[in-house]
A and B are shown apart, each in its own frame.
Chain A
Amino acid sequence: MTAPVSDHALEVVNLKKTFGGLTVTQNVSLTVRPGERRLIIGPNGAGKTTLFNQISGDLRPNSGAVRLFGADITYLPPYKRAHCGLARTYQIITLFASDTLEHNVTLGLLGLRKTRWQMWLPLSFYHDLASEARKILDAVGLLHLAAYPVSEIAYGEKRRAELAMALAQRPRVLLLDEPLAGLSNTERLTVKTLIASIPRETTLIMIEHDMDTALDLAETVTLLDYGRVIVDGERDAVIADPRTREVYLGG
């Protein structure tokens, strides 16, 4: 697709979504610069994941628009958005449990390649895919577990595998839905270092509750509540804002 030139990696314009009588996204507008590190915070039920699902295409908004590098993707199915450079991880671990870690990452690589339509040669024939998958696993520190099925690895390792799968796509915009959820302090530190090492070619948008860790990674913060953007701006300004204290930090 030919993307019009835009200053923004992601633009969300007046997005609205209702489930029956319940409005879960109310006129949400956001702009994210290329390379930006954006943190989205808000109390439970604020509509953070619902917003992600509309950006990734799992949910259709009632009205409004989503643009990726200027191209309107509001009505594209999720798989086409992936081909436009969008990737995401899930709050609830969504991996292929009975397959090996290497196979999981290989699927991440395969999704954007023509090879995925190959019907005759065994997948194991493609050594370049396997070696690239192992490289990515090495980068997230899971190479020693490459041959293990996902069902046999620890929870913290699964969290990193989630990340590895999305990184395999070399996304231009990456949505991280609570990448630190349920991790121990040591594991948090590992994943934090990992996220910090993601190159600037990838724009990061992250939902996270662990403020101590997430604020270090963020440059800008958006506070959502009841499906609305309450505060939006540079990190320190948003943290200092009295509305943030009232709604979220429980000040």
Chain B
Amino acid sequence: MKWLGIALIAGSLLLPPLLAGDFYVNLASQILIASIFALSLNLLVGFGGMTSLGHASYLGVAAYISALLTSKYGIGHGAAAAISISGTIAMAAFFGVIALRASGLGFLMITLALSQVLWGLAYRMSNVTNGDNGITGLTRPAPFGISLDNPVSFYWFVLIVTVAAFVMMTMFVSSAFGSSLKGVRDQPRRMAALGFNPWLIRWITFIYAGFWGGIAGLLYVYYHKYIHPSSLSTTSSAEALLGVIAGGSGTLGGPVAGAALVLLLKNYASAYIERWNMLLGFVFLFIVLVMPRGIVPGVSRLVTSLREGSR
């Protein structure tokens, strides 16, 4: 049963480029990028109990740094990516120090405020960021000389990064450190009495989540070949958060399912219904009412009860 599931997932990841047209391959690439982003947010929300409404900061800043370096300063993609990720990590370290002074709602508000500052800067510093026009005419990298300009080769590239991201984040949460993180989420006082430093554990996780948010940002800007301040907006953060919660926060598959749901609704429903946001709202309402812990825990519970019922 478990192997059947793995085979199904592997199959569905390999199929798009083989069977479908460019539109679907591109959609699949976007879902994978959104999955990395949601997985990184889930480290904070699901495993760390730190609900952030400013995670788009890391995606947006990494994307902007890469865009500026490659377009304005003519720096190569490899160096630009390294600088962009280092910058994002440094920013996460700094933002973490500020945001982790609070917890719960206070933490959420600080992350929101910090991301709003960045969003405002991206809009207003138009001499650098080109403001509301965004930065256009960007290129995709060509790792080992392989062009990523056609949708299929880009999909393979994104798939490799996504699998690496999934594996590394899974290792992170199953490790001894991951156990400390979950412990600090559930009983911070007890964890401190046992010798764990709750603040440092949260801070390291905050930086690690920022790092993967930055990776998602690089892929995002490679995909679109364009960056706009809206990538830093609260809507962008909130969509990822909704995806994590709808898919199942604190689970490994949940953020992937949630990210896929949001993107599919966005792309499909918007073709038929003008107010697709309203549909999104109803879908979330349905999930919260029927599967309060998210799609992945909800479905797995359903499967278990069906199997027990058939016995």
Contacts and interface: CB of A to CB of B under 8 A. Distances in A.
Interface of A: 56-58, 77-79, 82-83, 87-88, 90, 94-99, 103, 106-108, 110-112, 115-124, 126, 165, 169
A118 B175 contact: yes
A117 B177 contact: yes
Given A58-B189, A94-B189, A96-B187, A123 B174 contact: yes
B172 interface: yes
B197 interface: yes
B293 to A, nearest CB: 12
Given A116-B177, A116-B180, A165 B194 contact: yes
Given A83-B195, A122-B171, A110 B176 contact: yes
- The CB with the most chain A CB atoms within 10 A, among B175, B176, B191, B198, is that of B176
Nearest to A82: B195
A48 B29 CA distance: 60
Given A119-B171, A120-B171, A87 B193 contact: yes
Residues of B contacting A: mostly: helix
A77 B200 CA distance: 13
Contacts of A106: 179
Interface residues of B, number: 23
A79 B197 contact: yes
B213 to A, nearest CB: 18
A116 B198 CA distance: 12
A152 to B, nearest CB: 16
13 contacts: A58-B192, A77-B192, A78-B189, A79-B191, A79-B195, A79-B197, A107-B194, A108-B194, A110-B180, A111-B194, A112-B194, A120-B175, A122-B174
Given A79-B197, A119-B175, A111 B191 contact: yes
A79 B192 contact: yes
Of all A-B residue pairs in the complex, the 6 with the closest CB atoms, nearest first, are A111-B195, A111-B194, A82-B195, A78-B192, A118-B176, A119-B177
Interface string B192-209: 111111100000000000
A172 B132 CA distance: 63
- The CB with the most chain B CB atoms within 10 A, among A77, A111, A124, is that of A111
B149 interface: no
A165 B195 CA distance: 12
B176 A82 contact: no
A44 B169 CA distance: 48
Nearest to B176: A118
B178 interface: yes
B22 interface: no
A96 B186 contact: yes
- The CB with the most chain A CB atoms within 10 A, among B175, B178, B183, is that of B175
